[in-house]
Structure 1
Amino acid sequence: MADIKEERSLFQPRHDSIAYAPGRSEAHVANLAKIAKAGNALDPLTITAFGSHWYLLDGHHRLQAYHQVGWGVPVPVNVLQSDLDGEARVTWAVQESVRDNKKNRLPMSDADKIDAAWSSVARRDKLSKSATAELHGVSERVIGNMRAARKALEAAGHDCTLIVSWSAARRMAEALTGGERDSGASDWEEQQRRRASKKAKGVMEMDLSPLLLGQILEAYSPGIVESMALALKAEQEDTEKFSAWWQSDDEADD
């Protein structure tokens, strides 16, 4: 294990799901640690070489579980090879990390997938629109919107690789087109979302059905489910309006 290095800023695309539900991540590691403590090796870690060092692409929770139990023998690994070097090799490795993390272990949230897709678009990875969409598990329409937003942001002098999330990039792009969203309000809402997500951790870890969860919310605050449905509909209409703004750029950037 000492031979395996981690670079989570590049090769751990589950940022959102871990940030909003740290208990879920910790519980997953604890379950893996029980298996390892019994002397059973976990699924192979995915690694690749950069120079003389091995870097972890997939299996961060498994590696953490091994460390937690003091695993004392070599761990099983899958080694990925590529003839690429330099920035092209880094891009390839990031894509392979996303590909592995899409598998049903600790699932990537939709926000994780969208932000990983935005990072790919911002870096101008040499992938077609359809290939980028397939890799990250999002629609081609979303990738088209991202490309058009990138085009507008770069024209305004922004370095898109420094914009870490699609929601931030989208707000900035909307501002360039005269969008009415207030960035301060959005930042405040983001803080509220994070605080509420942490407080709701206990309830969400009960693995309730959507129907039962809706009934619980309705019992706590009558009418809230209908209000949520209306808010989601309004957000969907806003997203469709955003897509329409960029439609011509989307088609031109295929």
Structure 2
Amino acid sequence: MSALEAKLELEKAIAAGSPPPAEAPRKLLVGSIQQFPEVFQPRGPAGYASNAHVRDLAKAPKGGHALDAITVFWVGSDWAVIDGHHRLQAYGAAGWRDEVPVKVFSGSLDEAMGYAGRLNSGVKMLMSNPEKKALAWRLSTCTKLSKARIVRDSGMSDGFMAGMFRTRTKLLKEKGMSLTDIAGLSWHEAQKRAAGSTTEADTIDRDAWLEEKAQVMANNILKALGKQGQQKHEVLARALEIYDSRLPDSLREFWNDERGEVEFIAEPSDPNSEF
């Protein structure tokens, strides 16, 4: 199920459901908190690093201590997590039976999706640049949030988002695609379609491929080093330089390219456009 399809189903449930309770809860049972990862979880499938993060978080509830409050949103009949998926998993891993602290987000479904993205693109377990691009594409195809709001919520630049919105408009108006079809594309596929290239080789999602391969390598590094590499950055940096003296320059070049400043389809912007 695509993010847009999952969101539309959730919209129906909210419309058919009841208003949220008059008094916002401060605590909820773990089992009563619903999850809709296709809508509210901006990250991809959990890898080793993500699972390791859950295991670290689970140490606190195993010791009888609650974690930071989980942010929840009313979806018609239940509360759903919009920020705190790893914490919720950690409570489950710890066998936590008591209520957990929560805080309520009040706003529209679109705003809740943007808010979930903003919290995850900040200072927590940092999102990769491909994850941020995927989040920005999801928000631009599945919500009616403004470009400025998506810039804030995804962490991408204003210039990048201008290019993304032009790509979406081009697919809608020039390529005749429906919004549902567009929402089913990855960002890389959308760029290729907008540029007129639809061969199988061209529609391979390079970002997804890169993320998959990098996750495997990161898992191997984490398994080999444990917490040492995270705690001794200078030692790790020097070790990588010894491993490959070209690596520092390659890293700088990669990170500069991945800042999201490039506009992918160079077309003059319409000064009267809302984008």
Q: TM-score range by the shorter chain?
A: 0.7 to 0.9
Q: What corresponds to 1:98 in structure 2?
A: 117
Whether the 8 Å contact between 1:148 and 1:253 is mirrored in structure 2 is no
AA matched with 1:207: Q
Determine whether 1:161 maps to 2:183.
yes
TM (norm. structure 1) is 0.76
Determine whether 1:207 maps to 2:225.
no
How far 1:23 sits from its partner (Å)?
A: 1.7
Whether the 8 Å contact between 2:72 and 2:83 is mirrored in structure 1 is yes
1:22-171 equivalences under 5 Å are: 22-82=47-107, 89-127=108-146, 129-155=147-173, 156-158=175-177, 159-163=181-185, 165-171=186-192
The change in CA–CA distance for 1:179 and 1:2 in structure 2 (over 3 A counts) is closer
Cα deviation digits, residues 123-164 of structure 1 (max 9, x gap)? 35142x22321222111111110111001111212232222x
The change in CA–CA distance for 1:63 and 1:140 in structure 2 (over 3 A counts) is same
Q: Percent identity?
A: 29
Task: Please state whether the residue corresponding to 1:138 is helix, strand or coil.
Answer: coil
Question: Which structure is higher in helix share?
Answer: 1
Q: What corresponds to 1:86 in structure 2?
A: none
How far 1:224 sits from its partner (Å)?
A: 5.7
Task: Please state whether the residue corresponding to 1:14 is helix, strand or coil.
Answer: coil
The change in CA–CA distance for 1:171 and 1:196 in structure 2 (over 3 A counts) is same
Determine whether 1:242 maps to 2:271.
no
Q: Distance in 1 between matches of 2:69 and 2:254?
A: 43
The change in CA–CA distance for 1:42 and 1:217 in structure 2 (over 3 A counts) is closer
Q: Which runs of 5+ in 1 are unaligned?
A: 83-88
Whether the 8 Å contact between 2:40 and 2:82 is mirrored in structure 1 is yes
Q: Distance in 2 between matches of 1:38 and 1:131?
A: 39
TM (norm. structure 2) is 0.71
Task: Please state whether the residue corresponding to 2:96 is helix, strand or coil.
Answer: coil
Task: Please state whether the residue corresponding to 1:242 is helix, strand or coil.
Answer: coil
Cα deviation digits, residues 64-106 of structure 1 (max 9, x gap)? 1111111111111101223xxxxxx332221221233234222
Q: What corresponds to 1:14 in structure 2?
A: 43
Whether the 8 Å contact between 1:147 and 1:253 is mirrored in structure 2 is no
AA matched with 2:183: T
The change in CA–CA distance for 1:232 and 1:3 in structure 2 (over 3 A counts) is closer
The change in CA–CA distance for 1:248 and 1:24 in structure 2 (over 3 A counts) is same
Q: Distance in 2 between matches of 1:98 and 1:227?
A: 29
Q: What corresponds to 2:213 in structure 1?
A: 195
AA matched with 1:50: V
Task: Please state whether the residue corresponding to 1:57 is helix, strand or coil.
Answer: strand
Query: For the aligned residues, what is the CA RMSD?
Result: 3.4
Q: Distance in 2 between matches of 1:223 and 1:103?
A: 30
Count of residue correspondences: 236
The change in CA–CA distance for 1:54 and 1:162 in structure 2 (over 3 A counts) is same
AA matched with 1:242: F
Q: Distance in 2 between matches of 1:55 and 1:241?
A: 35
